[in-house]
Amino acid sequence: MSFEFQRLTSEWEGLFRPFFREEDLEARVQPINGETRYIEANNAGSTKPSIVGLRARETASAVYTSPHSQTGPHAREITRLFNDAVETLVKLLKANDKNLMFMRNTSDVLNEISIMLSASENREPGVVAVERTAHSAQYLPWGQFHVTTEIETDQYGRAIVANYRKAFQERNYEGAPPDERIKLAAVTLSSNTNGDRLPAEIVDLARRYNVKLVADGCQDAPHHEQDTSLYDFYSLSAHKLYARGGPGVGAISKKTRPVRFGGNVVVIDTNGKPVYDIDEDGTVPRSVFDLGTIDVLGVIQCAAAYQGLHDLRFQNIEDYEQQIMQHTFNNLKDMPGVNVYIPKQYGALVLFDIDGLPSKLSGAIYDTFHGINLRSDNFCSYELMRRFNGMSLEEYKRIIEEEVRPRITKKNIPDAVRVSWSIFNRPEDIILFLDATREICDNVRKHGVAHYENFFTMDEKTGNFSLRPEFKPRLAG
């Protein structure tokens, strides 16, 4: 696929530029060798806020008060705005058969679902299937509160349909002991490390073998239309959806719902037990919790930003992002001095390293010399980073036991560099990033790592690099 710079640039100008504030798009920074436009290359971490989201937040802020108390015009208005926002999210997420829950972020939603399902009144016999290479937000909650079985991924951390089929067949045959059956599979709709999407066959298999699905949608939702009706539990994060400061949104199937979050729906009876409305379809939750005060403004901002994203049309988003990503991948793959970890382009990110440079030093160089913000880290996917770095299990164990556990240093935890684009990025960003990468590789080849190392000091505990104080400040005033 050719990279038609002019055509793509005018497409971006017309379609995506108006979605963002000029002050974000044109933010300036002062790298060490001059001033430049700030380039956001960590969109998989968090996205810049959309104008529609910010406006909705501002409008709602003007009448902000505690919602649902219904005792004044502001309360009525904020309640109306909040209810509309929930309705929008339900519609766009195809979550009619769901209750929405609002937490801090995806991690909180997944933690909460795991804890809820472990409560005695909700606990079902069986094990939870997890992938070791998943983000720790979708790995850790299950092992701590449930018995788990691991489903192996391929060497790049991609889900393998055959492995799911085998695990379901082996454990969920007719008459299988209930404790050994897989009751739930924790799946990831788009990976934050390899960019791959969950194969649809795994969803079909789960249905066939009566396995519930808890889906982490936070990396998928900014790029593709979501259909939460496919999953029993679903989560996303507003901060990855162009709604800075919004909540984590969880969607919980009413059919399999173990819990209801109530505010005004909870009444406590004389025995201290909750009384609640039974849904129209007759479903009864097994537990009830008080909802507490919700991040109302965050929910309103999230719904408006997500509606705005839908208005841009996901087909347009996918087409544009695919072109800028393919160009990034093709160039990185063939660039001398760059090691790309995944053999094919998936999603909106590329994981790579520059020969000879520790990942975190690469991150510091992009920032300090080029004004480019990308992430260099373990991406909360420790097992996958270990594999990518070709580190043996023994060596990883040694690092954990001798360096990390005694809190000596985290500098040797395997990591990588990730560039992740979104509709916030104009084609010029991709060109500037590739030019910067070429320059860094050339400098390392010609002058060695010392060319860059001299500018930085490394924090022994964290392994992070920071610019030596004798160099000038980097943030534009």
Chain centre to alpha carbon of residue 12: 24
**Between 248 and 414, CB nearer to ligand PLP:** 248
Interaction between residue 42 and ligand PLP (CB under 6 A): no
Helix 296-312 crosses helix 314-333 at what angle (to 10 degrees)? 80
Q: Of these, 48, 135, 158, 260, which contacts ligand PLP (CB under 6 A)?
A: 135
Instruction: Pick the closest to residue 430 from 372, 477, 381 (CA basis).
Output: 372
Span near ligand PLP by CB under 6 A; candidates 134-142, 169-177, 321-329, 420-428: 134-142
Interaction between residue 328 and ligand PLP (CB under 6 A): no
Q: Of these, 40, 112, 131, 216, which contacts ligand PLP (CB under 6 A)?
A: 216
Shortest Å distance, C-beta 267 to ligand PLP: 32
Shortest Å distance, C-beta 47 to ligand PLP: 11
Span near ligand PLP by CB under 6 A; candidates 86-94, 104-112, 179-187, 454-462: 104-112
Q: Scanning residues 221 to 250, which ones bind ligand PLP (CB under 6 A)?
A: 237, 248
Shortest Å distance, C-beta 233 to ligand PLP: 14
State the distance between the two ends of the chain, measured CA to CA, in whole angstroms: 41
**Between 60 and 302, CB nearer to ligand PLP:** 302
Shortest Å distance, C-beta 79 to ligand PLP: 27
CA-based torsion, 286, 114, 351, 132: positive or negative: negative
**Between 235 and 253, CB nearer to ligand PLP:** 235
Instruction: Pick the closest to residue 249 from 88, 117, 119 (CA basis).
Output: 88
**Between 276 and 346, CB nearer to ligand PLP:** 346
Span near ligand PLP by CB under 6 A; candidates 49-57, 105-113, 142-150, 320-328: 105-113
Q: Of these, 88, 138, 172, 437, which contacts ligand PLP (CB under 6 A)?
A: 138
Interaction between residue 105 and ligand PLP (CB under 6 A): yes
Residue facing ligand PLP at closest CB distance: 192
CB 444 within 8 A of CB 355: yes
Span near ligand PLP by CB under 6 A; candidates 5-13, 100-108, 299-307, 441-449: 100-108
Q: Scanning residues 367 to 386, which ones bind ligand PLP (CB under 6 A)?
A: none
Span near ligand PLP by CB under 6 A; candidates 92-100, 162-170, 214-222, 290-298: 214-222
Q: Of these, 42, 47, 79, 107, which contacts ligand PLP (CB under 6 A)?
A: 107
The set of residues, in sequence order, having a beta carbon less than 8 Å from that of 260 and lying 6+ positions away, is 99, 276, 285, 287, 288, 289
**Between 248 and 363, CB nearer to ligand PLP:** 248
Q: Of these, 43, 106, 307, 464, which contacts ligand PLP (CB under 6 A)?
A: 106
Q: Of these, 188, 301, 345, 359, which contacts ligand PLP (CB under 6 A)?
A: 188
The CB-side HSE value for 127 (13 A sphere, CA atoms) comes to 19
How many residues of this chain bind ligand PLP (CB under 6 A)? Answer: 13
**Between 67 and 195, CB nearer to ligand PLP:** 195
Span near ligand PLP by CB under 6 A; candidates 28-36, 99-107, 450-458, 468-476: 99-107
**Between 107 and 307, CB nearer to ligand PLP:** 107
| Site of interaction with ligand PLP (CB under 6 A) | 105-107, 135, 137-138, 188, 192, 216, 218-219, 237, 248
